[in-house]
Structure 1
Amino acid sequence: MLSTIMTSPYFAHSRSVTSRRRNLLTSSPLGSKLTRTSRNPREGVKEEETETDLSSRAATHGSPQQAATHPQPEASPQRAHGRRRRQLKVEYDVADGASPVKTERWRPPEWTKQFELIREMRKGRDAPVDDMGAEKCYDTEAPAHVRRFQVLVSLMLSSQTRDQVTAAAMQKLRAHGCSAGNILATDDDTLGKLIYPVGFWRRKVQYLKRTSAVLQGDFGGDIPHSVEGLVRLPGVGPKMAHLAMDIAWDQVSGIGVDTHVHRISNRLGWLRKPSKNPEETRKALEEWLPSCPSAFKSSPAKRPKSERPPQSLSPTSSSKTKTEPGSDDERMEKEATSPASRTRNIKSKVS
């Protein structure tokens, strides 16, 4: 009976199916996994389910031998919750040597045409300042530090004074000896007679004495090599400082603006908005004027009260000197309209 069943065609067919199934399981990586799983008696049920999945996969993608002969393209890796998004890298073509885009600064629309007309008008150089300005008032044979000191003195005397009067006063000072040491050694009355009749000559005598004391003690008779250092001197404002840097040190540091430049700049429309005084005009011009190296830089700090020279350096210690805002000429005008100044002028006329 047993031999009959074993030799039956039914069992022969079952053996062939079983052998093919075993070959399939052992010939694929997944088959080794199923084989190991089948060794665990607790997971015997999973073997049938896995084999069923394997049969369906073989029907869909073909047998392992066919997969080896015709490999399928690998699927793209996927995230746990969906397909991985493709990242795009955006690049921009940058030209070699290209600079970042700069916003155009404000400039007067007609300033170049106006400037050329002014240059054409002034090419004759027939104004008094051309022959009697600060760049013509120093002794060319003097030492360099003395020449620079004389440039600063001529600028201090020129405030509210015609160029002809300033040049005459500088001639007398140079004949007397115009250096920081000689100015300190000269008494106030003699110094006043030498610079008379420049505007506010009494006030300027005080400025010359105090400034000469600072320069002699701190700079060896020379003048500071910076706008910040120059504006700290008594009687020296931004206009004088920038002109001194240009004439004495041959360095353009900014624009020297007086009442005339202030008035003309407003009339020509060279300011973004009208200014009230020469100092505002200077700052407004330096914000856009191309030939000014101080454009877009902060203005020099004003001289603090704590850094003023001691009152003992002043020939008249009872007189208080203030550093008023605005230009040098504006400060002189305010001092001239004071009651004490009017009293001194009346006494001077009577005497």
Structure 2
Amino acid sequence: MCAARRASRRLSGARAPSAAFSTAAPKSPQRGGRRRRRGVRVGYEAPAGSATEEAATEAKQQKWEPKNWRQELDNIREMRKARDAPVDQMGAEKCFDLEAPPENKARYIKQTSAILQRDYGGDIPKTVAELVKLPGVGPKMAHLVMAIAWQNVSGIGVDTHVHRISNRLRWVRRETKLPEETRQALESWLPRELWSEINWLLVGFGQQTCLPVSPRCSDCLNRGLCPAAGKSQEAKRSGGGPL
């Protein structure tokens, strides 16, 4: 119980991102018939405002990005400014998987509490790699915990709402099937300073307007921009499934 209380107190903390990114370490070709060694992907923290971070940001800006995404994002911010969606009334203690069986949750809580007490002195891990090793913790929750507990925006927390809306808006270059694929696709082009707000913006938007079934396209400010606007109604009339 002590471990659970300490972890709960840690998760009641605040916000504020820090900069981090991955880059590939280049390998120069070797001559004389030797095999070329493949580049090794290295992840590390870059100081905010450093030349390395600025170079990575510039390189990212030259990559593919969705058409009209800034206007669409501004429209979603406008629709979410009241902050009255269910997600806005929930703390980190309620950011769990509603579809997970209750008996699994109880078992995960007991197992995780024991691990935190034994290995972390009642606190919680400080890295995504360690967090996802805890029972029942996946990438989405790990990135949310990093932002909430450690004020370190390590990635975008992608749940079913973020996954669905990103595909409807074509914020992914190719259709993605899994939330983790969507996270990687979003992080490949979305400016890092926006990562921290994407989860709560799109989750609330998905709860109120861009619903899984029968989305309220007529109420959406993006109805003239969204590639999927109105298509769910057409699919419904033709007997197809929701978009």
* Structure 1 length-normalised TM: 0.37
Residue 292 and residue 206 in structure 1: after superposition, are their counterparts in 2 closer, same or farther (change >3 A)?
farther
1:207 aligns with 2:104: no
- The sequence identity of aligned pairs, in percent, is 58
Partner of 1:257: 158
Pick aligned residue for 1:240 from 141, 163, 185: 141
Report deviation, 1:291: 2.3
Structure 1 residue runs of 5 or longer lacking an equivalent are 1-96, 138-153, 162-198, 295-351
Task: Report what 1:112 is aligned to.
Answer: 70
Corresponding position of 1:132: 90
2:25 is matched with none
Contact conserved, 1:253 with 1:293, CA < 8 A, in 2?
no
Unaligned runs of 5+ in 2: 1-50, 196-243
The Cα offsets for residues 102-150 of structure 1, whole Å up to 9 and x where unpaired, read as: 581111111100000000000100112112231xx5xxxxxxxxxxxxx
1:159 to 87, 97, 102: 97
Aligned ranges for residues 39-50 of structure 1 at < 5 Å?
none
Counterpart residue type for residue 125 of structure 1: R
TM-score normalized with structure 2 length: 0.53
Equivalent residues in 2 for 1:71-150, closer than 5 Å: 104-134=62-92, 137=93
Question: C-alpha deviations, 1:84-113, integer Å up to 9, x for none?
Answer: xxxxxxxxxxxxx9x8x9581111111100
Kindly indicate whether the alpha-carbon contact (under 8 Å) linking 1:257 and 1:278 is maintained by their aligned counterparts in 2. Answer: yes
| Higher relative helix content | 1
* 1:279 counterpart (180, 187, 208): 180
CA-CA distance at 1:249 after TM superposition: 1.2
2:226 is equivalent to residue 288 of structure 1: no
Partner residue of 1:220? 121
Query: RMSD in angstroms over aligned alpha carbons?
Result: 2.3
User: Equivalents in 2 of 1:120, 1:205: separation in Å?
Assistant: 39
In structure 2, how many angstroms separate the alpha carbons of the residues matched to 1:200 and 1:102?
44
Alignment of 1:163-202 (within 5 A): 199-202=100-103
Structure 2 partner of 1:345: none
> Conserved in 2, the CA contact under 8 Å of 1:231 and 1:238?
yes
Distance change (3 Å), C-alpha of 1:259 and 1:113: same
| Residue 269 (1) aligns with residue 170 (2) | yes
Q: 2:149 & 2:117 partners in 1: Cα distance?
A: 17
Q: 1:270 to 1:102 in 2, by over 3 A?
A: closer
SS of 1:222's partner is coil
